[in-house]
Amino acid sequence: MGLYETNYSLINHLIPDFMRILDHGVSSVSRGENLYLCVLDCSRYTSSIQLTHRFTVKGNVVYAPGLSIRIYFDTNQAEVLAWQGQEDFAHIDPNKYKTMSSVAAKWQVNQFLSKWLRFCLNIGHRFASNGLAARREHRELLS
């Protein structure tokens, strides 16, 4: 299984009933920070989501890692589109990423996604649709 397919599989475990999830959700666990999900857009074959934690640092709210992820339902793949709202990954570590090709940088960020999703799953994060209203337009698109 390739990296993008692995990311898709991990997201399916994290959000097992994606088609019924609200526009947003919060997963809380006792062993870590809350994980926040926001559905940015959805269509029959793709959806974009944002996943992040929320930290308070010196009285300021910080969202990290702030990943925007595109999910491809027709090919069972998921990839990072943006990190902290930036499509160019050089802002993460300018000394490192300015010398990397965009393909290499994107690959590395997607490897991070895979490891981070595993971490989130290992500490018990899941987004369940139990008791939540379904995304009506998404359900209609896929029925």
Q: Is 80 exceeded by the pLDDT of residue 131? A: no
Average pLDDT over residues 114-121: 97
3-class secondary structure, 108: helix
What pLDDT is attached to residue 93?
A: 54
Q: Is 60 exceeded by the pLDDT of residue 97? A: no
Closest CA to 128 of 13, 5, 8, 4: 13
The model's confidence at residue 59, banded by pLDDT at 50, 70 and 90, is: very high
List, in sequence order, the alpha helices (H) in the chain. Answer: 3-14, 94-97, 102-122, 136-142
The model's confidence at residue 57, banded by pLDDT at 50, 70 and 90, is: confident
4-30 pLDDT, tens digit per residue, is 999 999 999 999 988 777 688 899 999
- Between the CA of residue 119 and those of 27, 84, 129, what are the distances in Å? 13, 19, 21
Q: Could you identify the residue written with the tokens 């393909």?
A: 103
Beta-bridge partner residues of 24? 38
- Between the CA of residue 95 and those of 86, 90, 92, 99, 111, what are the distances in Å? 16, 8, 9, 7, 19
**Distance, C-alpha 32 to centroid of its chain:** 17
What pLDDT is attached to residue 85?
A: 57
What pLDDT is attached to residue 55?
A: 87
